[in-house]
């Protein structure tokens, strides 16, 4: 029988964790948001308050609710105290296996045995994550899209040991959040990132080789195919460091040269040109104007 989900532990207060905290609180859940430093948590709290303030203007659905009431549902902490009360955990830390493995060892010890763990990962196999815990059947992937409060679809990944009961629990949480899901099987990159990262990397190669500018590449995808965003604007939104990490993960997993990261992508990350979060990537975000 599916467990009731009232309190959700969110590990990692970066872009995805912040969006998740907001979306969960807006759907009536109590949230414990944990990260390694108070500075990161303070920034996350500011961004969540801003997101709640402007959410209605940006097309958020559902009944209006006082943002102060919603904000009080989120607790911020640098430790895992309170995780003995959570009914579900969503992990969003960096795509580094050594870091993730340490996180799962900690939350495995801090939570009740029946609690489901969802990895919001792009490329790390769910089966590997499950094996790092004492509850592999209760581990699955939940690949949320950015910005989380506005995206209605979630890619759910079933690991080798993931049970049907665990999938049902995940579906219950997503339904409570007003989201739908598609369940896919465990494979590096799953469906979305296996296709998207290859597309983005190839688009970067086109710029690198001088075939087209970033503006021209994205204009073709938006005007010819009706995409709301081109692949390079999408890369800037995700973060070029995250893109590079994902492409490198696919290259390692498949040992296939088609996933070799473009040298321009590597150079831009080395230069700190990470996209929206740094103010500049393939496009500039130093003004209120969006890339054309």
Tell me the CATH number at 146. 3.40.50.720
Answer yes or no: pTM beyond 0.85.
yes
Strand extents, DSSP E, the chain: 7-11, 30-34, 74-77, 88-91, 116-119, 139-143, 153-158, 180-185
Check whether residue 15 and residue 117 sit in a common domain.
Answer: yes
- Within a domain: 57: yes
DSSP 144-191: --SSGGG--EEEEEE-SS--HHHHHHHHHHHHHTT-EEEEEE--TTTT
* CATH number where 208 lies: 1.10.1040.10
- Tell me, yes or no, whether 139 and 204 share the same domain: no
Which is nearest to 7 in space by CA: 86, 106, 70? 86
The answer to whether residue 289 is domain-embedded is: no
Q: Is residue 101 packed enough to be buried (19+ CB in 10 Å), middle (13-18) or exposed (0-12)?
A: middle
Helices 192-208/240-254 angle, 10° precision? 110
Instruction: Give, to the nearest 10 degrees, the angle between helix 38-54 and helix 15-26.
Output: 50
Verify that 236 and 148 share a domain, yes or no: no
Q: What are phi and psi of 13, to 5 degrees?
A: -110, 35
Is 288 contained in some domain?
A: no
Same domain (yes/no): 169, 240 = no
Q: Using the 3D structure, point to which of 185, 204, 238 is the last residue of a domain.
A: 185
Is residue 1 included in any domain, yes or no?
Answer: no
CA–CA separation, 220 vs 227, rounded Å? 9
Sheet architecture: strand order including 74-77: 74-77, 30-34, 7-11, 88-91, 116-119, 139-143, 153-158, 180-185
183: Cα within 13 Å, side-chain hemisphere: 13
Tell me if 103 is assigned to some domain: yes
> 156 with 265, same domain?
no
Residues 99 and 231 reside in one and the same domain: no
Query: Would strands 139-143 and 116-119 be described as parallel, antiparallel, or unpaired?
Result: parallel
* Domain-embedded: residue 292: no
Same domain as 252, residue 273: yes
285 lies in some domain: no
Reported as type and span, the H/E element at residue 140 is strand 139-143
Residue where a domain stops, chosen among 153, 185, 217: 185
The residue out of 150, 185, 220 marking a domain boundary is 185
Please list the pLDDT of the chain residue by residue as tens digits (292 residues): 556 799 999 999 998 999 999 999 999 999 999 999 999 999 999 999 999 987 655 545 445 678 889 999 999 999 998 999 999 999 999 888 899 999 999 999 999 999 999 999 888 899 999 999 999 999 999 999 988 999 999 999 999 999 999 999 999 999 999 999 999 999 999 999 999 999 999 999 999 999 999 999 999 999 999 999 999 999 999 999 999 999 999 999 999 999 999 999 999 999 999 999 999 999 999 864 455 4
Q: 70 and 164, same structural domain? A: yes
- Verify that 211 and 152 share a domain, yes or no: no
Does residue 249 sit in the same domain as residue 272? Answer: yes
Question: Can you read off the two tokens belonging to residue 187?
Answer: 């494979």
pLDDT tens string 116-133: 999 998 888 999 999 999
pLDDT tens digit string along 33-80?
999 999 999 999 999 999 998 765 554 544 567 888 999 999 999 999
Would 178 be classed as within a structural domain? yes
User: CA 100 to CA 96: how far, in whole Å?
Assistant: 6
Structural domain for 137, as ranges: 7-185
Query: Rounded distance, CA 259 to CA 168, Å?
Result: 34
- Contact, 241 vs 247, CB < 8 A? no
Local structure of 74: helix, strand or coil: strand
Rounded Cα distance, 179 and 154, in Å: 7
Mark whether 23 and 111 lie in a shared domain.
yes
Number of domain units in the chain = 2
- Verify that 174 and 201 share a domain, yes or no: no
């Amino acid at each position: 029988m599916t467990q009731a989900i009232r309190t959700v532990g969110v590990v990692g207060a970066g872009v995805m964790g912040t969006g998740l905290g907001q979306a969960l609180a807006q759907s009536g859940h109590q949230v414990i948001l944990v990260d390694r430093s108070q500075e990161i948590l303070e920034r996350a709290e500011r961004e969540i308050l801003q997101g709640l303030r402007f959410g209605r203007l940006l097309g958020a659905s559902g009944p209006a609710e006082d943002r102060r009431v919603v904000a009080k549902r989120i607790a911020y902490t640098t430790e895992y105290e309170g995780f003995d009360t959570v009914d579900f955990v969503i992990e969003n830390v960096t795509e580094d296996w050594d870091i993730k493995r340490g996180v799962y060892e900690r939350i495995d010890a801090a939570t009740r045995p029946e609690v489901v763990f969802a990895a919001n990962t792009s490329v790390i196999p769910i089966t590997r994550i499950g094996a790092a815990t004492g509850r592999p059947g209760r581990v699955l992937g939940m690949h949320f899209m950015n910005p989380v409060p506005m995206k209605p679809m979630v890619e759910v990944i079933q690991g080798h040991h993931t049970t049907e009961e665990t999938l049902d629990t995940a579906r219950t949480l997503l339904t409570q959040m007003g989201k739908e899901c598609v369940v896919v099987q465990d494979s590096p990159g799953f469906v979305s990132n296996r296709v998207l990262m290859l597309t983005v990397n190839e688009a970067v190669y086109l710029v690198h080789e001088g075939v087209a500018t970033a503006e021209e590449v994205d204009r073709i995808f938006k005007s010819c195919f009706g995409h709301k965003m081109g692949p390079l604007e999408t890369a800037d939104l995700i973060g070029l460091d995250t893109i590079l990490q994902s492409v490198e993960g696919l290259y390692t997993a498949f040992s296939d040269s088609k996933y070799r990261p473009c040298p321009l992508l590597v150079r831009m990350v080395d230069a700190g040109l990470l996209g929206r979060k740094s103010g500049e990537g393939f496009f500039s975000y130093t003004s209120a104007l969006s890339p054309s």
